[in-house]
């Protein structure tokens, strides 16, 4: 089937089977390899992307649901101004080790930042925001510190991307 969708602000038209995964379409057809596959069953969050402005595990989204969808990946976000604050906070707090889960954590971070300010976000809310991301290297502590630091800053993250 032919599917028209928008990926990182660009209209694309692709040929895919109905059950092809969004993850494979991004990585193999569109060469957007920033999004990773860790488990293929929606548990680890390494493949997290925005679809119609909501976080989804792209390994669980079949092509047949993609018609007219607006998909935004880490590859489409790294050049936004706010992204350098995220980079700085992750770097300074040592929130990265092997890095394979990191793009997924960054996507969840962006989602948290645009929906919150420090006032309503405690550690429990931070933990809730990353309940769908697994990291095996860091023990999470330094990721939480990076996110806490970001929440204290006045970072302007758009409500929606590429719309």
Partner 1 sequence: MKEHSEVRVDAASKIAGIEKYTRDLRIKNALVAGTVRSSKAHARIESISYDDNFDWSKVTILSAKEIKNNFVAIIKNDMPYLAEKEVNYIGEPILLLAAENETILIEAKKHIKIKYEELAAAKTLKAAIDRNRAEDLFEEILLENGEPEKTFENADSIVEDIFETGFQEHVYLEPQVVVAIPDGNTIHIKGSMQCPYYVQNAMNELFKGSEIKVDVTQIMTGGAFGGKEDFPSLICGHVALLARKTGRSIILSYNREEDIRFTTKRHPSRIHAKAAVSSDGKILGLDMDILLDSGAYTTLSPVVLARAVLTSFGCYRIPNVRIHGKAIKTNISPCGAFRGFGGPQSLFAIEMLMEKVAKTLKIPVWEIKKANMLFLGDKLPTGQPIDYSYGLPQCVKKVLKSSEYEKKYDEFKKYNENESAKAGILKGIGISLAVHGCGFTGVGENRIKAIAEMELLNDGKVLVKTANTEMGQGVDTAYKIIVSEKLGLPFKDIIIEEKNTSKVPNSGPTVASRSTMIVGKLLLDNCEQILDALSLNDVEFSSQDFKEAAIEYFGKHDSLVVQKEYKHPKFIKFNEDTYKGYGYPVYSWSANVAEVEIDLTSYQVEVKKFYTAHDVGKAINKQQSEGQIQGGVIQGIGYAVYEALSMEDGEVQNRGFRDYIIPTIQDIPEMYVDIVEDAYFNGPYGAKALGELPFVGAAPAVASAVSFAIGKIARKIPLTPEVIATLIENSNYEY
Dist. CA 57–CA 133, nearest whole Å: 10
Under the binding rule (CB under 8 A), the answer on residue 161 touching partner 1 is no
In the complex, the smallest distance separating the C-beta of residue 103 from partner 1, rounded to whole angstroms, is: 4
Under the binding rule (CB under 8 A), the answer on residue 163 touching partner 1 is no
Q: Which stretch binds partner 1 (CB under 8 A): 50-58, 64-72, 80-88, 113-121?
A: 80-88
**SS3 of residue 102 by DSSP:** helix
Under the binding rule (CB under 8 A), the answer on residue 131 touching partner 1 is yes
Bridging pattern class, strands 2-7 and 70-72: parallel
Residue with tokens 């089977």, as numbered in its chain: 17
**SS3 of residue 151 by DSSP:** helix
Given candidates 2, 41, 119, 159, which one binds partner 1 under the rule CB under 8 A? Answer: 41
**Using CA atoms in the order 84, 101, 159, 63, what is the torsion angle rounded to 10 degrees?**
130
Under the binding rule (CB under 8 A), the answer on residue 80 touching partner 1 is no
Helices assigned H by DSSP within the chain:
22-24, 83-92, 102-115, 123-129, 141-152
Dist. CA 91–CA 101, nearest whole Å: 15
Given candidates 5, 7, 23, 46, which one binds partner 1 under the rule CB under 8 A? Answer: 46
If the CB atoms of residues 53 and 140 are measured against partner 1, the closer one turns out to be: 140
Q: How many residues bind partner 1 (CB under 8 A)?
A: 50
Sites of contact with partner 1 (CB under 8 A): 27, 31, 33-41, 43-44, 46, 73-75, 78, 83, 86-87, 90-94, 96-103, 106, 127, 130-131, 133-144
């Amino acid at each position: 089937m032919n599917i028209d969708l928008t990926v990182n602000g660009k209209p694309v038209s692709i040929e895919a089977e109905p059950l092809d995964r969004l993850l494979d379409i991004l990585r193999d057809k569109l060469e957007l390899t920033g999004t990773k596959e860790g488990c293929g069953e929606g548990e680890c969050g390494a493949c997290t992307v925005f679809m119609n402005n909501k976080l989804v595990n792209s390994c669980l989204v079949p092509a047949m649901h993609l018609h007219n969808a607006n998909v935004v990946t880490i590859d489409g976000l790294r050049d936004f101004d706010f992204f350098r604050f995220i980079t700085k906070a992750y770097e300074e707090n040592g929130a990265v080790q092997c890095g394979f889960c990191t793009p997924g954590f960054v996507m969840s971070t962006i989602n948290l930042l645009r929906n919150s300010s420090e006032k309503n976000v405690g550690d429990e809310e931070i933990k809730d925001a990353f309940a769908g991301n697994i990291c095996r290297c860091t023990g999470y502590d330094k990721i939480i510190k990076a996110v806490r630091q970001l929440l204290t800053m006045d970072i302007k993250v758009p409500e929606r991307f590429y719309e």
